Amino acid sequence: MQLINIITLWYLGITLAALLVGGFFIYNKLGSEIDFELGMELTREIDAYAERIEKGAPPNRLLYDKLEITEIPFDLPIEELHLRDTLAYHDPMNRNEIQLKASKSYKIDGKHYRISYYNLVVEADDITETVVVTMLSVFAIQLVFIGIFFRFISKKILSPFHKSLDAVQGFSFQKNEPLQFTKNGISEFEKLNEFLERMSKKLLTDYRQIKEFSENLSHEIQTPSAVIRGKLEHLMNGEITGEQADLIHSAYQNNERINRIVRSLGMLAKLENEEFEAPQTLNLSSYIQKTLDGLDELIEMRSIQLSTEIDPMVWLEIHPFVAEVLLTNLIGNSIKHNIDHGSIHIELNPDHLRIENSGKAPKNDPEEFLERFKKGSELPDSIGLGLAIVKQICVNYGFRIFYYYENNMHVIRILFR
């Protein structure tokens, strides 16, 4: 999820929580304020009617639907203002409604009157409706404000971050250039950019040292290895005993194994460092056919039955050399670890590549063979790096690889999408 969306959701959540709490307090405050003002209004009305009685107005002529004037014993103490809810008929609405009733007594001209006055109460539902409508209106305004602010203004605020992100995504060891950022005046982004600049310089320095070391190691190994190979071949052509021949052959095989390990590790390092050029759109179907043609003799030597379901037009974004390495390792592996008179089935379409081959049941989880130096057989020419190279290629190009054993067949499946 994008940073701007996370900020927006958090802001909306906090705003909604604040509105709910604020709405609760507004509801209580509004209700108490209405009751207070209504009580004051009723008191003023009662005092006004008492003043009119003092001036000589007959009480019975003052009566109407909201006013009650009752004469009570004179010896009773004067009643202070008393407020309470009551159910009374409301003529305009033609029904009984909850009303606030205020009562107070007065002693006037030797008589004691209790004067009661009614007024329609603003009900809790009305207050709730008012508060809810108000809060929803505020929230709607907030949404509009957030939409404008976070989608336009925040782009300007976060533009240094996006520029830094683009620069990091464009960083490449092949360019051999450290990251460089322009000043933006925001201290947090300045600190982040300074750290990224230092890290990129350190990465390039370490990368050059490791690359130089691996290249020197590969070069220095090749020379004595070639000398050893030549001398062993010379010894094999001379007069030697059977025991000596076995020892020489073993030494020769191990020397070749060292060469294969060095080449494979070099290939893995290049893949991990993404040293290959930009991918090209190529027809993977033709590359598979080319690989099969090159391995045809090995397949015939072991009497392996080959079957294919290859879509003739499968286009893929991949470097040509990397595609050759991928297919050579996969198909070569299916031949090397097969059994005599076994079978291989290859299926290719725009969605996936699937290679099945017969062979001995694995002792461990087949997924382990995708790691470095993990082997499923004890073949002397197997170094346990072929599938690790395949896995790294899949990682580089966003493919998904699966290896499992099903129906007495080893299955490797690569999803392109």
Q: How far apart are CA 82 and CA 117, in angstroms?
A: 11
Q: How far apart are CA 273 and CA 396, in angstroms?
A: 10
CA distances for 371 relative to 79, 332, 333, 384, 389, angstroms: 95, 17, 15, 8, 9
Q: Do 280-415 and 187-272 have the same topology in CATH?
A: no
* CA geometry: angle 366, 368, 369, nearest 5 deg: 75
Kindly list the strands in the beta sheet with 343-348, ordered across the sheet, starting from the edge strand earlier in the chain: 305-310, 343-348, 352-358, 409-415, 400-406
Q: How far apart are CA 282 and CA 315, in angstroms?
A: 5
Query: Residue 99: left (phi > 0), alpha (psi -120 to 50), or beta?
Result: beta
Sign of CA dihedral 160, 161, 166, 168: positive
Per-domain residue ranges for the chain? 3-142, 187-272, 280-415
Would you state the pLDDT for residue 249? 72
* CA geometry: angle 169, 173, 178, nearest 5 deg: 75
Closest CA to 275 of 329, 326, 211: 211
Q: Are 226 and 262 in contact (CB under 8 A)?
A: no
Q: How far apart are CA 199 and CA 208, in angstroms?
A: 14
Q: How far apart are CA 61 and CA 53, in angstroms?
A: 10
Would you state the pLDDT for residue 277? 63
CA distances for 400 relative to 18, 331, 346, 416, angstroms: 46, 18, 17, 7
Task: Catalogue the E-assigned strands of 293-408.
Answer: 305-310, 315-318, 343-348, 352-358, 400-406
Q: What is the pTM of this model?
A: 0.46
Q: How far apart are CA 136 and CA 310, in angstroms?
A: 61
Would you state the pLDDT for residue 271? 67
Would you state the pLDDT for residue 265? 67
Would you state the pLDDT for residue 274? 64
Q: How far apart are CA 66 and CA 136, in angstroms?
A: 37
Q: What is the DSSP letter of 385?
A: -
> 280-415 belongs to which homologous superfamily?
Histidine kinase-like ATPase, C-terminal domain (3.30.565.10)
Q: How far apart are CA 168 and CA 417, in angstroms?
A: 25
Instruction: Report the C-alpha dihedral over residues 391, 396, 400, 403, rounded to 10 degrees.
Output: 0
Tokens at 273, concatenated: 């460092």
- Gyration radius from the chain CA atoms: 45
Please state whether beta strands 409-415 and 400-406 pair in parallel, antiparallel, or not at all (unpaired): antiparallel
DSSP assignments along 80-103, one per residue: PPEEEEEEEEETTTTEEEEEEEEE
Would you state the pLDDT for residue 343? 92
Tokens at 218, concatenated: 């590969």
Report domain 187-272's class.
mainly alpha
For every one of its 417 residues, what pLDDT tens digit does the chain have, with 9 covering 90 and above?
Answer: 666 677 777 777 777 787 778 777 777 777 677 767 777 777 887 888 788 888 878 877 777 767 788 888 888 888 887 777 665 555 555 555 666 778 888 888 888 888 888 775 555 556 666 767 777 787 778 777 777 776 677 777 777 877 888 888 777 766 778 888 888 777 878 888 888 888 888 888 877 777 776 666 666 666 677 777 777 777 777 777 777 777 777 776 676 666 666 666 666 666 666 666 667 888 889 988 888 888 888 888 888 898 989 888 889 888 888 888 888 888 888 888 888 889 999 999 989 999 999 988 887 777 777 776 565 555 555 556 778 888 888 888 888 989 888 888 899 999 987
Environment class of 255 (CB within 10 Å of its CB; exposed 0-12, middle 13-18, buried 19+)? middle
